[in-house]
């Protein structure tokens, strides 16, 4: 894949989302379904690699770039991730001038809700790919319950899931 095209696709995902993982639906559609340069398993691996380290939630885009084009792809992913930071000052000036208009406020809320729906729709195929047996399914359900209904940090959940996976391999 051309690095400029990769950068533009990842930039589109970053710019049109309000949080790092909200871009997942767009990334999956563009890179797994349309261009077929990634598989669902590679996308899941990139998400795990991006989420295990410190930094923003969208850091998984660097891992995606690496999967597609190596170090130059990772560089394209990082540039796509930081480009909006350079655009934030003029955007905040514009948004600040119109933020009190009820229609603008309603439009922002609608975009946030739609991005949540897109995130859910993109997560379903990834979950199907990850749920390969009863143990993996149980880890998914328990992880979701812990994250949804408690204040446990996500890294504790990842460490617990890793311990269960490692334990299951050692028991075999």
- With a cut of 80, say whether residue 53 has pLDDT above it: no
- Give mean pLDDT, residues 80-107: 82
Angle between helices 134-149 and 102-130 (to 10 degrees): 150
- Residue 18: per-residue pLDDT: 60
Q: Has this prediction a pTM greater than 0.75?
A: no
Average pLDDT value for residue range 81-106: 82
The per-residue pLDDT for 107 is 84
Which residues, 6+ apart, have CB-to-CB distance to 106 below 8 Å? none
Taking alpha carbons only, the member of 69, 88, 92, 94 closest to residue 10 is 69
Residue 49 has pLDDT above 80, yes or no: yes
Q: Where are the domains of the chain?
A: 3-125, 131-172
Six token digits for residue 133: 């047996």
* pLDDT tens digits along 127-148: 888 888 899 899 999 999 999 9
Kindly report the number of other CB atoms within 10 A of residue 66's CB atom: 19
Residue among 22, 4, 8 nearest 60 (CA): 22
């Amino acid at each position: 894949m051309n690095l400029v095209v990769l950068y533009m696709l990842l930039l589109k995902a970053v710019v049109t989302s309000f949080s790092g993982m909200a871009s997942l639906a767009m990334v999956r559609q563009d890179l797994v379904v349309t261009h077929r340069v990634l598989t669902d398993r590679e996308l899941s691996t990139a998400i795990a690699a991006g989420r295990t380290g410190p930094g923003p939630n969208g850091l998984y885009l660097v891992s995606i770039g690496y999967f597609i084009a190596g170090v130059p792809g990772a560089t394209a992913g990082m540039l796509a991730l930081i480009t909006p930071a350079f655009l934030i000052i003029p955007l905040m000036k514009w948004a600040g001038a119109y933020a009190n208009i009820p229609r603008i406020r309603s439009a922002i809320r609608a975009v946030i809700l739609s991005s949540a729906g897109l995130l859910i729709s993109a997560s379903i195929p990834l979950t199907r790919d990850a749920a390969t047996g009863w143990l993996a399914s149980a880890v998914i359900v328990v992880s979701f319950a812990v994250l949804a209904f408690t204040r446990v940090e996500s890294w504790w959940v990842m460490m617990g899931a890793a311990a269960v996976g490692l334990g299951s391999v050692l028991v075999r």
